């Protein structure tokens, strides 16, 4: 469980990129209990609040200011000491990264892609550190996972980039799941894209913590969302479901097992 300010090389923000932002905010408000705050300088953007604490932002793809072709996704951001140095390191390790830029006085960010094509953002904090909600609270970003076509290569890339320590766990079908640890604390995972997942591109997936995964799945369907994968158990972890918002944004929900 993570509470308070995120450390260097921890996940520090999500950006929900969506069309029909007002409808999306209503959907997630009902489903995950989100409330919203003003976001100066971002047309159509709103801060996501979980129990009154910062979790990320909803960005309006229809509101102007977004690059053409921006996909409807939940984007992830990782806190770094220096955005410019991290971008240089991404490129040196075989990824791709655009030059860093300042976001008002809040911080400095950059957009990156790993060698397999999964996109992620980096954030050098100034006035805004990022997420400060409890990662196990209902509606909070609780777990992050890179789904990739070359898991060993992705693990090498991220461990070299962020200093995460990899811990491997066997999965069905002869595959391996890797847990990334920041110090002694798990912060993310890496899993290979297997045929059973269908045509899934390399990407970072966000799991939102929920009190009851099955109930959240049912409510998502009632609210016009799509159930891509019904609730399933993960031994020693909890239960999860793969959903899609009515606006076409894929995401996961995760009900944590009792400690």
Q: Is 90 helix (H, G, I), strand (E, B) or coil?
A: helix
Q: What is the DSSP letter of 5?
A: S
What is the fold, at CATH topology level, of the domain defined by 141-256? 2,3-Dihydroxybiphenyl 1,2-Dioxygenase; domain 1 (3.10.180)
User: Which DSSP helix (H) or strand (E) runs through 32?
Assistant: helix 21-32
Return the percentage of the chain with pLDDT > 90, whole number.
80
Instruction: Return the higher-pLDDT residue of 201 and 4.
Output: 201
Q: CA 145, 14, 117: angle at the middle one, nearest 5?
A: 50
pLDDT at 150: 95
CA distance 250 to 122: 21
Tell me which of 30-34, 105-109, 169-173, 190-194 is least confident: 169-173
Tokens of 95: 């990824």
**CATH assignment, 11-125:** 3.10.180.10
Rounded-to-10 torsion of CA 189, 109, 49, 226: -50
What are the backbone dihedrals phi and psi of residue 165, each rounded to the nearest 5 degrees, phi first? -95, 125
Rounded to a whole number of angstroms, the distance between the first and last alpha carbons of the chain is 11
Q: Report DSSP state, residue 4.
A: S
Give the model's confidence band at 127: pLDDT under 50 very low, under 70 low, under 90 confident, else very high: confident
142/1 Cα distance (integer angstroms): 8
Domain with CATH 3.10.180.10 in the chain: 11-125, 141-256
Q: Which residues have CB under 8 Å from 205's CB, separation 6+?
A: 74, 144, 145, 146, 147, 250, 251, 252
The mean predicted confidence, pLDDT, of the chain is 93
- How many Cα neighbours within 13 Å face the side chain of 59? 20
Q: How many CB atoms lie within 10 A of CB 211?
A: 14
39-92 pLDDT per residue, tens: 876 777 999 999 999 999 999 998 766 677 788 999 999 999 999 999 999 999
Where does residue 92 rank: exposed (0-12), middle (13-18), buried (19+ CB within 10 A)? exposed
């Amino acid at each position: 469980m993570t509470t308070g300010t995120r450390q260097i090389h921890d996940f520090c923000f999500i950006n929900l990129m969506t069309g029909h932002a007002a409808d999306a905010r209503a959907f997630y408000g009902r489903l995950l209990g989100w409330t919203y705050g003003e976001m100066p300088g971002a047309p159509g953007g709103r801060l996501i609040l979980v129990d009154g604490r910062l979790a990320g932002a909803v960005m309006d793809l229809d509101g102007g200011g977004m690059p053409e072709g921006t996909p409807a996704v939940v984007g992830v951001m990782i806190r770094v000491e220096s955005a410019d140095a991290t971008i240089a390191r991404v490129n040196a390790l075989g990824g791709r990264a655009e030059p860093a830029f300042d976001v008002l006085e809040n911080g400095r960010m950059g957009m990156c892609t790993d060698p397999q094509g999964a996109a992620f953002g980096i954030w050098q904090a100034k006035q805004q550190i990022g997420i400060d909600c409890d990662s196990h609270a209902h509606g909070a970003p609780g777990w992050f996972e890179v789904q990739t076509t070359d898991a060993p290569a992705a693990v090498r890339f991220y461990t070299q980039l962020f200093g995460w320590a990899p811990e491997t766990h066997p999965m069905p079908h002869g595959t391996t799941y890797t847990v990334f640890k920041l110090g002694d604390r798990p912060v993310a995972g890496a899993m290979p894209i297997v045929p059973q997942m269908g045509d899934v591109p390399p990407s970072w997936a966000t799991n939102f913590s929920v009190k009851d995964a099955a109930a959240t799945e049912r409510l998502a369907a009632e609210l016009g969302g799509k159930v891509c994968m019904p609730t399933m158990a993960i031994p020693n972890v909890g239960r999860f479901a793969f959903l899609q918002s009515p606006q076409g944004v894929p995401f996961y929900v995760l009900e944590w097992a009792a400690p």
